[in-house]
Structure 1
Amino acid sequence: MKKIRGRMDESILVCVFYGPNGERLINRGNKLASMLDCPLYILMVDSRPFDEFDTEKSAYVERWKELAEEYGAEDFIIRDNESRPSAKVIAEVSHDLNITQIIIGQTARSRWEEITKGSFLNSLLREIPFADFHVVSVERSIKGSDHEEFEKGVRCYLVKDADTYKISFTQTKECQYEGIFFKEIGTDFNNGIFKFMHNSKLYQVEVEDDYIVDPMLVRSCIEKTPSIG
């Protein structure tokens, strides 16, 4: 049952994506909404259709729905099968709901990585200058090797998107290359590395929020390779 909020000039949006950090973000959002006595919304964005979620991800979604009901959230919003960057989807929802405060999880990137490659938060600040952001820290795993920095690799595909490429976990006729995606530990976003073979040589490119950071290497290989679809 939704709680009756007394203050409507503030509204909070919690952005959850994948993994155990989502519950921590929702708890933080509920505490803030209770303090401000204002509406609470929860948003999940995913590039895959909802009916293609694996068992683990579906379990997380069900748990988040339970928390939304328990805390009296105004709405639990799922934007699945999204081809747009997450920052643009969050901005659209924030505009529609008149959100004033947004809660997100901190990614596992180091300060130097953020300086040289940019950060997801900076993308959000450009898209949503009217809202305040609360970044909840995520405990980082100790990095003893390259393998410990990333989760277990999963099969995915590259899809051309304007002048760049994005990863897709569903094979379609638009897919141009098949490879393995290694997601960074400690992030709710699709940040990590994508590895693929071309002419018996292994290539590795960085991924940030579903998109290839530097598409030049990919372009030089893939545009000469027939589609796998």
Structure 2
Amino acid sequence: MKKIRGRMDESILVCVYYGPNGERLIKRGHKLSQIMDCPLYVLTVDALPYDEFDAEKSGYVDRWKELCDELEVEEFIIRDNEKRSSVKAIAEVAHNHNITQIIIGQSPQNRWEEITKGSFVNVLLRAMSFIDIHIVSIDRRLKSTEEMSFEKGVRGFLQKDENGNYRLSFARSKDNLYEGIFYKEIGTDFNNGVFKFINSQGKTCQVHVTEDVITGQLADPPNVKK
């Protein structure tokens, strides 16, 4: 059961985009909401439908959902398949949830794709003149020096071979132990990439695949589907 907030005249919205800085923004928002004893909401906006997110994007979203559950955030909001500008989507969410404070990253104009001219902050301020905006600096240490790109996900399965290794398969079989989505790295002729699936506890898991074989351990006992 979520804690009943003491102040309902204040409400905080954290806007996150794809990248490791999102967790930092959420934690900053949570700290502020604890100090003010008010509700906290987290929002991400994307022009693509959720089922078309690549492995990297969906991985970030899953982690943000987990973090929001851990911190007892009021609501994690995904506005996918959004054809309007991010500013309009944020403004609508802010209005619907009586938001009084918004937290964003330092350089959102480089992150929100449709903002190509001027300052994103200035556009946001013009759209929501009665809301306080907090700008959190991006930690450059969190930026990856090499960003992987993946093809669109395809349905796949994991089987255990005679050596005890988990191996990727694309055919339905009684030997399949896990069903999920495989995201192949762009620029490789082999099945290298990421396999994403739901374990028997209902938690989203993500493992690396190298030439059809899972690298690393699958600690969760498989939920066999026949």
- Which TM-score bucket, shorter chain as reference? 0.5 to 0.7
Q: Secondary structure in 1 aligned to 2:72?
A: coil
Number of residues paired by the alignment?
143
Give the corresponding residue for 2:73.
73
Runs of 4+ in structure 1 deviating by more than 6 angstroms, as ranges, are: 150-155
**Paired letter, 2:39:** P
Deviation at 1:108, TM superposition (A): 7.4
The answer to whether 1:45 aligns with 2:45 is yes
The answer to whether 1:61 aligns with 2:69 is no
Answer with 1 or 2: which has the greater Rg: 2
2:21/2:139 contact within 8 Å kept: no
Deviation at 1:109, TM superposition (A): 7.2
Matches within 5 A, 1:84-103: 84-103=84-103
1:47/1:82 contact within 8 Å kept: yes
Give the corresponding residue for 2:35.
35
Q: Secondary structure in 2 aligned to 1:31?
A: helix
CA distance in 2 between counterparts of 1:94 and 1:109 reads 19
CA distance in 2 between counterparts of 1:151 and 1:126 reads 34
**Paired letter, 2:35:** M
1:39/1:74 contact within 8 Å kept: yes
Give the corresponding residue for 1:125.
125
- CA distance 1:151–1:49, change in 2 (3 Å): same
Give the corresponding residue for 2:134.
134
Q: TM-score, structure 2 length as denominator?
A: 0.58
Deviation at 1:45, TM superposition (A): 0.3
Q: TM-score, structure 1 length as denominator?
A: 0.57
CA distance in 2 between counterparts of 1:133 and 1:108 reads 12
CA distance in 2 between counterparts of 1:2 and 1:72 reads 6
User: Which has a greater percent of helix?
Assistant: 1
**Paired letter, 1:73:** V
Deviation at 1:151, TM superposition (A): 6.2
Q: Secondary structure in 2 aligned to 1:104?
A: strand
**Deviation readout 1:173-211 (Å, 9 max, x if unpaired):** xxxxxxxxxxxxxxxxxxxxxxxxxxxxxxxxxxxxxxx
Give the corresponding residue for 2:19.
19
CA distance in 2 between counterparts of 1:43 and 1:93 reads 8
Q: Percent identity?
A: 65
Deviation at 1:58, TM superposition (A): 0.8
**Paired letter, 2:32:** L
1:108/1:138 contact within 8 Å kept: no
Deviation at 1:139, TM superposition (A): 3.3
2:54/2:150 contact within 8 Å kept: no
1:2/1:69 contact within 8 Å kept: no
Q: Secondary structure in 1 aligned to 2:125?
A: helix
CA distance in 2 between counterparts of 1:135 and 1:154 reads 31
Q: Secondary structure in 2 aligned to 1:138?
A: coil
RMSD: 2.5
1:108/1:140 contact within 8 Å kept: no
Structure 1's unaligned 5+ residue stretches are 111-116, 142-147, 156-229
1:42/1:75 contact within 8 Å kept: yes
CA distance in 1 between counterparts of 2:130 and 2:77 reads 21
- CA distance 1:108–1:92, change in 2 (3 Å): closer
Deviation at 1:154, TM superposition (A): 9.0
**Paired letter, 1:22:** G
CA distance in 2 between counterparts of 1:123 and 1:9 reads 25
